[in-house]
Structure 1
Amino acid sequence: MPAARESLLDAAYTALARRPWAGVRMVDVAAVAGVSRQTLYNEFGSKDGLARALLRRETDTYLRGVERALAQARDPVDRLAAVSAWTIGAARDNVLVRAVLTGFWTERLPAPSRAAVSSSPVPAQRRADAGVPTPAELLTQVRDRAMAALVERGRPSETEDLARACESAVRVALSYVVAPAGREEDPARLVRRVIAGAAGR
């Protein structure tokens, strides 16, 4: 039932853009997705399960964007700058990604939670029920993915420099997420300077 699951998650995301999560009704989500309310409950178990699945999907979408930025055949500094640009854009455009990245949750959003024990027969829901990473865990995941994509055979000192550069790229991007720059300021330029400095260039 992957198509129905995606339609339900799309409907939930659209509903959240219009009203606080507390005002999102399961019956409305099912109706917009064109499925029965029973299908919705079979897939997610509860409204909390739907929230966990929605947060997991948006987090995974963000991480896939990180991987796309890293897969570009360019200089490492350019690829890390692309990760930073993606992070800033994804957080600007998606309130759930911004919350997962920063840990700042408003009452409009579903709160991140983990199911005590997932009894869902749906594998995707069991994964969602484990919850989303904390901001620190997500930063580590992005840094580690960047390291895996960029590291080449080299001396340990070079690997340490690259690790610092990877973490710096994400931290600088997060600073722009929390305190957006003015129109005249170019985040990409600062990101490149910071990364180059962290990498010892």
Structure 2
Amino acid sequence: MPVARESLLEAASVALSARPWPSVRMVDVAAAAGVSRQTLYNEFGGKAGLGRALVRREADWYLDGVDRVLRAPAASGGDRLASVAEWTVRAARARPLVRALLTGSWDGTLPVPPGQGARPGVPAPAPGELARAVRERAAAVLAPGEAAQRCELAVRLALSYVIAPAREPGLGELLGLLRLLSGQTRTAGGR
């Protein structure tokens, strides 16, 4: 039932964007997905299972975006690092579950993080695991001299902008810092 599963996850995501998770009702999610409530329970086992699957889906969505950004044509590895950081900030600002996954900051309006419910499923990665996953993806795509470790650093720096946003909504300051880190400016040793 992959189609029903995806429809249910999409309906749960829409419901979560409209109200806090404790107020999301299974009957409403099933109706919005066009399936029976029994199908929802068969697929996820209950609301906690649906919440875990929704959290996992958001983690996958974020990492798919990282892959897309890393594979996009860019002038240099530094531009890719800046793009990953920009993607991280934008994704976290737009999607509360991504923000919680990246920061580890969960509140009562979101589903319970994977591994903390009654019936754990496939756990979503913790914030440090997500940063390492980004690093591994970067290592697979970037040239050896472009240092995948800098990609992890770029994500961690971007997370500082998620946790404590700059006064202006723009990302110019962050992107400037990332260009410094990527070696696109002259350093004291290169003068």
TM-score by length of 1: 0.83
Partner of 1:7: 7
Partner of 2:49: 49
Question: CA–CA distance in 1 between the matches of 2:167 and 2:96?
Answer: 20
AA at the equivalent of 1:177: V
- Larger CA deviation: 49-58 vs 166-175: 166-175
The unaligned stretches of length 5 or more in structure 2 are: none
2:15–2:24 CA contact under 8 A, matched in 1: yes
Question: CA–CA distance in 2 between the matches of 1:2 and 1:182?
Answer: 43
AA at the equivalent of 2:137: R
2:56–2:122 CA contact under 8 A, matched in 1: no
1:165–1:196 CA contact under 8 A, matched in 2: no
Which residue, out of 122, 132, 135, partners 1:140?
A: 132
AA at the equivalent of 2:97: L
- Equivalent pairs counted in the alignment come to 182
Cα deviations across residues 73-109 of structure 1 (Å, max 9, x unaligned)? 3211111111111111100100000000000001111
Cα deviations across residues 84-141 of structure 1 (Å, max 9, x unaligned)? 11111100100000000000001111111227777xxxxxxxxxx1210110111111
Partner of 1:124: none
Question: CA–CA distance in 2 between the matches of 1:117 and 1:37?
Answer: 19
Question: CA–CA distance in 2 between the matches of 1:61 and 1:113?
Answer: 16
Partner of 1:178: 163
Question: CA–CA distance in 2 between the matches of 1:190 and 1:66?
Answer: 19
The unaligned stretches of length 5 or more in structure 1 are: 119-128, 153-157
1:58–1:96 CA contact under 8 A, matched in 2: yes
Question: CA–CA distance in 1 between the matches of 2:104 and 2:160?
Answer: 13
Instruction: Note the 1:20-99 alignment, pairs <5 A.
Output: 20-74=20-74, 75-99=76-100
RMSD (Å), alpha carbons = 2.0
Question: CA–CA distance in 1 between the matches of 2:64 and 2:183?
Answer: 24
2:88–2:158 CA contact under 8 A, matched in 1: yes
Partner of 1:111: 112
Displaced runs of 4 or more, over 6 A: 115-118
Which residue, out of 150, 157, 166, partners 1:165?
A: 150
Q: State percent identity of aligned pairs.
A: 55
